[in-house]
Amino acid sequence: MHDSGQNSNKYDWGLTASHFPALPSGVQDFLSLSLSESTKRSYRADLAHFEAAGRILPASPSDIASYIAEMAGHYAVATIERRLASLAKAHRTRGYDDPCKAELVKSTLRGIRRSLGTQQRQAAAILRDDLFAMLDKLGDHRPKDIRDRALLLLGFATAMRRSELASLDIDDIEFIPKGMLVILRRSKTDQEGQGRKIAVPLGRTRHCPVTALKTWLDMLERPSGAIFVCINKHGHILQRRISGEAVSLVVKTRIANAGYDPKPFSGHSLRAGFATSAAQAGASTYKIRQTTGHRTESSLSRYIRDTDLFTDAAITRLL
């Protein structure tokens, strides 16, 4: 039984009501929430790419091996691995055998890794001095400047991902005498919504994230709703929440205005910049992880960029 002729956007992902029509509606509702919408979108996009290559489900191991071999050299290894995981999920949720487990597929992927390597292109880190250079170019009166100042400082101080920044609501902020607490209700690694709090102390420099956010919220003049919203070309503040892509655009625009080449930077640059700058300043990895949310030091290490390889290098003690 093939799924040909069906649109990949209509496929069910995870266990849904269509798999168990006899279950009570309450159970069906929770099944529909077993995957986040962003995860479902990624799965759909990956399956659409597979179908656009002239292939259908269920696929054989040789189909899958040919597919990933065709992608080699055109896509990053991480992208190939993600699409492979999506195809495995697509087969399992439809009751098919998973062809991605076959040794033929595994060996092909190992060959791709050995040929291309697995190091991912990383977004350049926006370090503290880089951030200050960006902020110094912002004005103090235009709504877009005030919003972007708050966004950049809050993104750096909390090390949030761009989607997390975009999803923040006014109710997620608690101002206290020492600064503010930011409640992150859901994240990429917390799909069940347990949430956590990030402490942001009052700044000691001219660029204080607490002051910047208060200034922006005063301009918003609303008690609830999204913190970071769109602003039109006339400077009018809209009701619509910004997207994660808009966060990246703010970063690229502001880093370019500060005289940097914007190409290596993205919304992830603030998160990487916080981790790297904090490590350079001597903060313990435990305290850094309290902010970033990384559970292990090994996972954190990928976010600390190699900007200080010459600092106290071992060879300086020898030659």
Residues with a catalytic annotation lie at 161, 188, 268, 271, 294, 303
Sign of CA dihedral 28, 30, 31, 36: positive
The C-alpha angle with vertex 214 and arms to 262 and 208, in degrees rounded to 5, equals: 55
* Closest C-alpha to 258, from 142, 122, 131: 131
Taken in order 281, 286, 292, 295, is the CA torsion positive or negative? positive
> Which has the closest alpha carbon to 241: 169, 315, 313, 162?
169
3-state SS record for 101-140: HCHHHHHHHHHHHHHHCCCCCCCCCCCHHHHHHHHCCCCC
Instruction: State the alpha helices, DSSP H only, in 143-228.
Output: 143-158, 162-166, 209-220
Nearby residues of 121 by Cβ (< 8 Å), 6 or more positions away:
76
Closest to 182 measured CA to CA, from 222, 151, 154:
154
Encoded tokens for 54: 């002239």
**CA atoms within a 13 Å half-sphere pointing along the CA-CB vector of 210:** 16
d(CA 14, CA 16): 6
Residue whose entry in the numeric block shows the structure tokens 């918003």: 220
CB 145 within 8 A of CB 138: yes
Burial 169-191 (b: 16+ CB within 10 A, else e): eeeebeeeeebbebebeebeeee
